[in-house]
Chain A
């Protein structure tokens, strides 16, 4: 059995067809994800329209250093993921493995930086509650969205890291051939999670600083 036919799953007759279906299915899922984040973004938009001053005030308190660092880390991870996926597609197993490992490291680094940021935020009392340091009360809405949206993004990243780690191990052990369409699906998802961050960055870190 050749490596390529090993990647073929029921009910597909050719790998090309299976790859097209994987890509199609993941795009559909991402459409669903866009509407998932869309619900929160709609809420954010409406409140920002209602309370523009409170939102500017509140957004000034986010930590731009951590935000910028994390943007750089995540965009770089998209690059390594892209190389990993393309080289897997071409059958360059070793390049792919190195790039997957790099992506794994960068994704984890993002979470570590995010952890430090959360720690600082909490130390500054920026979790909404009775002792919230900012006024007016609507600033707490901004911070509610900050915690929910970055939290949901982080959960997406953690899920992505889990799948990424599993597939890296499978590829390393040769249990999964590099031609497997799953790498393409993983890459699409990974790039989507990055794109969400690219939207969150201006909404949460940049608006108060113009």
Chain B
């Protein structure tokens, strides 16, 4: 807390990264990882709202069972737009490209990422991919669903498949460039004393994610290239008339797209690991188990893609193996959930907004993970394949998990990024509203999915209407909750309280440098001689940071 007092003295520090040039050109040509993180944040925020508006219209349509608002074609194009934009232009880049870019060098005690110009180039690639995708929307949209399944996407669809696929293809190379950059940075630029097992879990999470990005994304690129070749050149690759196998496309597609789920959720796990320890004032429970669990999820996550094809004509033996492996990937995920819980146990917990968001992550991710086990089991999956049960499951992971963690991280590191504190009451209010809106939106989808409501239909039996109405009402709450930060966060840029180096009293090198950090991050490259999350001496209880300690429930225990 002395930091704040010292920092409020008249500044004699070097200019921070935000003051290194105020022109648009200085931003568009920057190689500063912190500025690039912000460029990404602005881009993906735009896409978050594009994808959100698309699904808002879809939810409005689903209030009535007769398809009163949209034509079949418009409906197909809207949910496809939602899927493509949210997956590739929000969720996949969300945490790695924003917080990853901003924080990775800060967390390992480096001045920059390994390849600063490549980092800027990857943002331009992302923008180029975005331009293709936006073009496909303006030209009339795509109706294949985000999965681009053949032979519909290659032989039958009359929509702008090539432009959309090209957009995802190009954005994929941006992902690969980011992954290469992060892995090299982690290997080559750690500060003296920052050994592998002193890395914050956020760094481990980004590292594992980067490996998955580098090894999975190219396979998606090739599968999309094959679709584009088939559509554009007319060469038969998946065309059954020539002996082609549409299922092969599904294998290639899910070889990326299942690991992509881990690209989305592993960084989220990193974010909440930082937040739980900080707001419980506790060392993380089982640090090395947490590390191995991340790596385990990364590796086993590559071997489960076949569970998307249980009813697609895959051999029963393959189904059995993929089912088993899908159960296996739940083990490291469960280890993480238990370890976070154990970290909270007997912590001196306080409920600031980042903690509330992180708590929602924990609950929602757990529900999403457990329903994933239902889907890993072949007989249940056959019952609920392509129903709203699946939709609810993956939204619990991606929205309940990743988006909650994204907002958690946004609030947690906001004072570090901007040098100002957001408005706490508004932030808590929006955290709670997000949770409520989320539950109201997606819980009914489990029920109607189990009862047989298929996904991707806008005309449905009236018996499901009540669930759709509740879900749409929840979506309204959720959209309000997502709009709040759009007002109070920019407001804080001008009116928020200035903060010192370490407003949360957190461990980690990013909190040892001024907020916002100077261009070169550290006045001098730091030397590390403690393990991460040293919130209290080993064997002692959590520190209270001068607050009145929470009493144990049984004082005599």
Is this pair of chains taken from one and the same complex?
A: yes
Which residues from B are CB-within-8-Å of A21?
A: 114-115, 184, 188
Pair A51/B243 contact, Cβ less than 8 Å: yes
Pair B222/A40 contact, Cβ less than 8 Å: yes
Which residues from A are CB-within-8-Å of B54?
A: none
Pair B115/A137 contact, Cβ less than 8 Å: no
Cβ of B180 within 8 Å of any chain A Cβ, yes or no, is yes
From known contacts A21-B188, A43-B237, A137-B242, infer whether A28 and B183 are also in contact, taking CB-CB under 8 Å: yes
Which residues from A are CB-within-8-Å of B181?
A: 25
CB 8 Å contact bits of A30-41 with B (1 = contact, 0 = none)? 011101111110
Cβ of A140 within 8 Å of any chain B Cβ, yes or no, is yes
Pair B114/A33 contact, Cβ less than 8 Å: no
- For the complex formed, measure the closest distance between the CB of B247 and the CB atoms of chain A, giving whole angstroms: 10
Cβ of A75 within 8 Å of any chain B Cβ, yes or no, is no
In the complex, A43→B223 CA distance in Å?
10
Residue in contact with B242 in the complex, picked from A32, A38, A138, CB distance below 8 Å: A138
Cβ of B286 within 8 Å of any chain A Cβ, yes or no, is no
Interface centre among A24, A35, A137 (most CB of B within 10 A): A35
Pair A11/B116 contact, Cβ less than 8 Å: yes
Cβ of A29 within 8 Å of any chain B Cβ, yes or no, is yes
From known contacts A10-B112, A36-B222, A50-B243, infer whether A128 and B236 are also in contact, taking CB-CB under 8 Å: yes
In the complex, A86→B248 CA distance in Å?
43
Task: Report the stretch among A90-98, A116-124, A145-153, A196-204 that lies at the interface.
Answer: A145-153
Cβ of A111 within 8 Å of any chain B Cβ, yes or no, is no
Which residues from B are CB-within-8-Å of A37?
A: 222
- For the complex formed, measure the closest distance between the CB of A199 and the CB atoms of chain B, giving whole angstroms: 15
Cβ of B245 within 8 Å of any chain A Cβ, yes or no, is yes
Cβ of B244 within 8 Å of any chain A Cβ, yes or no, is yes
- For the complex formed, measure the closest distance between the CB of A54 and the CB atoms of chain B, giving whole angstroms: 8
Cβ of B540 within 8 Å of any chain A Cβ, yes or no, is no
Cβ of B189 within 8 Å of any chain A Cβ, yes or no, is yes
Cβ of A65 within 8 Å of any chain B Cβ, yes or no, is no
Task: Report the stretch among B92-100, B213-221, B387-395 that lies at the interface.
Answer: B213-221
- For the complex formed, measure the closest distance between the CB of A97 and the CB atoms of chain B, giving whole angstroms: 24
Residue in contact with B236 in the complex, picked from A17, A33, A40, A144, CB distance below 8 Å: A144
Cβ of A69 within 8 Å of any chain B Cβ, yes or no, is no
Which residues from A are CB-within-8-Å of B188?
A: 17, 20-21, 24
Range of interface residues on chain A? Answer: 35 or more
Which residues from B are CB-within-8-Å of A176?
A: none
- 8 Å CB contacts to B: which residues of A33-89? 33, 35-40, 42-43, 46-47, 50-51, 54
Cβ of B235 within 8 Å of any chain A Cβ, yes or no, is yes
Pair B184/A144 contact, Cβ less than 8 Å: no
In the complex, A7→B367 CA distance in Å?
53
Cβ of A143 within 8 Å of any chain B Cβ, yes or no, is yes
Cβ of B176 within 8 Å of any chain A Cβ, yes or no, is yes
In the complex, A37→B218 CA distance in Å?
8
Residue in contact with B184 in the complex, picked from A28, A138, A148, A152, CB distance below 8 Å: A28
Which residues from B are CB-within-8-Å of A152?
A: 225
Pair A11/B110 contact, Cβ less than 8 Å: yes
Which residues from B are CB-within-8-Å of A17?
A: 188
From known contacts A10-B111, A25-B114, A144-B235, infer whether A137 and B219 are also in contact, taking CB-CB under 8 Å: no
Residue in contact with B235 in the complex, picked from A35, A137, A143, CB distance below 8 Å: A143
Closest to A26 in B: B180
Cβ of B493 within 8 Å of any chain A Cβ, yes or no, is no
CB 8 Å contact bits of B173-191 with A (1 = contact, 0 = none)? 0001001110110011100
- For the complex formed, measure the closest distance between the CB of B208 and the CB atoms of chain A, giving whole angstroms: 14
In the complex, A25→B119 CA distance in Å?
13
Closest to A147 in B: B235
Pair A40/B226 contact, Cβ less than 8 Å: yes
- For the complex formed, measure the closest distance between the CB of B215 and the CB atoms of chain A, giving whole angstroms: 6
In the complex, A25→B122 CA distance in Å?
14
From known contacts A21-B184, A25-B181, A35-B215, infer whether A141 and B236 are also in contact, taking CB-CB under 8 Å: yes
Pair B218/A39 contact, Cβ less than 8 Å: yes
Which residues from B are CB-within-8-Å of A148?
A: 225-226, 229, 235, 237
CB 8 Å contact bits of B109-138 with A (1 = contact, 0 = none)? 011111110100000000000000000000
From known contacts A21-B114, A141-B243, infer whether A29 and B236 are also in contact, taking CB-CB under 8 Å: no
Which residues from A are CB-within-8-Å of B215?
A: 31-32, 35
Pair A32/B217 contact, Cβ less than 8 Å: yes
In the complex, A32→B176 CA distance in Å?
8
Please provide the 3 A-B residue pairs with the shortest distance between their CB atoms, ordered closest to farther. A39-B222, A36-B218, A144-B235
What are 20 A-B pairs with beta-carbon distances under 8 A? A10-B31, A11-B111, A21-B114, A24-B187, A25-B114, A25-B115, A25-B180, A29-B176, A31-B215, A32-B176, A32-B215, A39-B255, A40-B222, A43-B237, A47-B243, A54-B243, A137-B241, A138-B242, A144-B229, A148-B225
Chain B residues within 8 Å of A, Cβ to Cβ: 31, 105, 110-116, 118, 176, 179-181, 183-184, 187-189, 214-219, 221-223, 225-226, 229-230, 233-237, 241-245, 248, 252, 255
Chain A residues within 8 Å of B, Cβ to Cβ: 9-11, 17, 20-21, 24-25, 28-29, 31-33, 35-40, 42-43, 46-47, 50-51, 54, 127-129, 136-138, 140-141, 143-145, 147-148, 152
